[in-house]
Chains A and B, each alone.
Chain A
């Protein structure tokens, strides 16, 4: 474990996979900034839990789809902690529908938060990472971005977009000691997947060789690895964490 105290930003870090990631990084000894857009209660609870690991933590409200708000958030983090060593672009939303019934807003909102939001955060954080010649950028994509999913064309497109963004930036920033990787979670037990019907759930479980859904912790463990110096020679990769669903 590196001795210098590092700072990590986790977008959408108050709930679900983001919360597990934030707490894992706190456990690893990072100061953790938890970004949230709506539920300050969840974010503040996560902050309190993170602090139990003896690190500093705070919650910052910011709609990551808003370019100016993100710039302000990143500047605030630099003012508070001096730098950002790890950024986990986790915040994401779904607005599922079949294409015939998908509204323009359903499409735009999902792309704006999931894909543009990831761009916005990297845009402002990378400036500081480039200056310091180091950094770890970890983007949470989805297995759906790799294989597609009926009823999720907007979500799948946003998550596939994140993969293209990841690979391009891995090439662009490699010479500056910054690695950029993506994680593609499969079927993970969160609020986002809880709303799925039993039929959908059971058909998904049947397609998973390990025959069970993943837990947020399974994703957090891979983030922990990608944030650490143990993964310094890995960049531009998409790591599927899906119980073997896609091979």
Chain B
């Protein structure tokens, strides 16, 4: 399942507990990420899923749900 794979990457990049990562979690407000963490996370996702996420799209990603949604749309 996609969510678990994404969650694992978030857990690894941000050093948070898996239980903290829900679809609603905001990277900055709930998971304590800073701007550089988000850039690193985006790069890790790009590597894992072999996609390219342009800056203008990356800027819109605020929550875990945004990532899941974004990657789902790419698959279509």
Seen from chain A, the residues whose Cβ lies within 8 Å of a Cβ on chain B are 127, 130-131, 172, 175-176
Q: Give the chain A neighbours of B43 by CB distance below 8 A.
A: 127
| A107 to B43 CA separation, bound complex (whole angstroms) | 34
**Can you name 6 extra interface pairs (CB under 8 A) apart from A172-B36, A175-B36?**
A127-B43, A130-B36, A130-B40, A131-B40, A175-B34, A176-B36
Chain B residues whose C-beta falls within 8 Å of the C-beta of A130 in the assembled complex: 36, 40
Chain B proximity of A173: nearest CB distance (Å): 8
Q: In the bound complex, what is the Cα–Cα distance between A172 and B36 (angstroms)?
A: 8
- Give chain A residues whose Cβ lies under 8 Å from the Cβ of B34: 175
User: CA of A163 to CA of B43 in the docked complex: distance in angstroms?
Assistant: 28
Find the B residue at minimum CB distance from A176: B36
Nearest Cβ distance between residue B11 and chain A, in whole angstroms? 16
| B40 partner residues in chain A, CB cutoff 8 A | 130-131
- Complex CA distance for A172 and B39, rounded to whole angstroms: 12
Task: Specify which chain B residues have a CB less than 8 angstroms from the CB of A172 in the assembled complex.
Answer: 36
In the assembled complex, the CB of B43 is this many whole angstroms from the nearest CB of chain A, namely 8
Cα-based distance from A140 to B64 in the complex (angstroms): 42
How many angstroms between the C-alpha atoms of A243 and B36 in the bound complex? Answer: 39
A153 to chain B, nearest CB (A): 33
Q: How far is the CA of A127 from the CA of B40 in the complex (A)?
A: 9
